[in-house]
Amino acid sequence: MSEPTPEAPRTEPDGSTQPQSVVLSVRGLRKHFVLHNVDGRQVDGLAGIDLDVSAGEHVALAGSSGAGKSTLLKCIYRTYLPSAGTATLRSPTGPVELTALADAELAAIRGRQFGYVSQFLRAEPRRGALDIVARAGIARGMDRATAVEAAATALRRLHVDESLWDVYASVLSGGEKQRVNLAAGTISAPQLLLLDEPVSALDPANREAALELISDLTAHGVAVLAVFHDLDAMARLASRVVVMRNGRIVQSGPPEEVLHHLEGVAR
């Protein structure tokens, strides 16, 4: 099923894009944790993030562990409750303030207007891969036949062998699970896609196919905000790299520029 997609935006020299096609606008986002059971200790996750992601743009978050990359993604998806700031999704029906939405409304647009693909597959252990991916499509509003077809296409694309399609997900390897997860998360391209290390467990050949799929999404106008530990992947996919440290953005620019600095600082 194809629907008209917005034009891929023009990329400026500094890597930013035209404001009209901005899909996600993060302003002043903060997150701190209070660990009540560890004598009320407070931990700062994000110290104030301003970030825009436009349609057709792939923004990669880089930085060492603990820099706040996953925290940022989770705050946008609302798996974490932001402590302050806003994250606005510009949907076809108007701007949506994600941090202020009621739970039920947020649950309704998750998976539809914006999606999140984590490192790990979380599915019932006794479901087959095709079933998992097809159900993701059905949950997005596809009818069964279309969903099954789209699921088959996605799995083939990611080189998940047909013989595995009916096997219980619990017995799949880590790499197989991750590919199923990616297929499920991208089956119906949302406006905004958040990716949290979606290819970490894949070997080079499978990684290739996965990266191609992700790259295709941006070509079709999806706004992508992703965390990769893999510099190559970042170099290949990102139109802009944003470096984080201690919960702040410390650098932002096109990959050639930014990654050069990061080499040797990777991990």
Partner 1 sequence: MTLVSAPRPTVLRVDRLGKIFGSQNPAAIEQTGPEVGSEKTPDGSSVVAAWDVSFDVAAGEAFGVIGESGSGKSTVMRAIAGDHSASAGSVRMRRRDGSTSDLLTMTQSERRALRVDELAVVYQDAADGLDLNVTAGGNIADRLTAAGGRHFGQIRERAAELLERTEVPLDRMDDLVRTFSGGMRQRVQLARALANRPPIVLFDEPTTGLDASVAAGVLDLIRSLLEELGIAAVVVSHDFSVIEMLTTRCMVMQHGRVVEQGLTDQLFEDPQAPYTQRLVAAARA
List contacts with partner 1 (CB under 8 A): 3-5, 33-37, 74, 78-81, 91-93, 103-109, 112-113, 124-127, 135, 138-142, 188-191, 221
Sheet (strand 58-62) strand order: 114-117, 192-196, 223-227, 58-62, 240-245, 248-253
Cα dist. 3→170, 188, 221, 250 in Å?
A: 35, 11, 11, 38
CA distance 83 to 28: 10
CA atoms within 13 A on the CB side of 223: 21
Compare residues 154 and 258 and give the one whose CB is closer to partner 1: 154
Phi, psi (rounded to 5 degrees) for 197: 50, 55
Distance in Å, CB of 201 to partner 1, minimum: 21
Distance in Å, CB of 206 to partner 1, minimum: 27
Distance in Å, CB of 223 to partner 1, minimum: 11
Distance in Å, CB of 87 to partner 1, minimum: 14
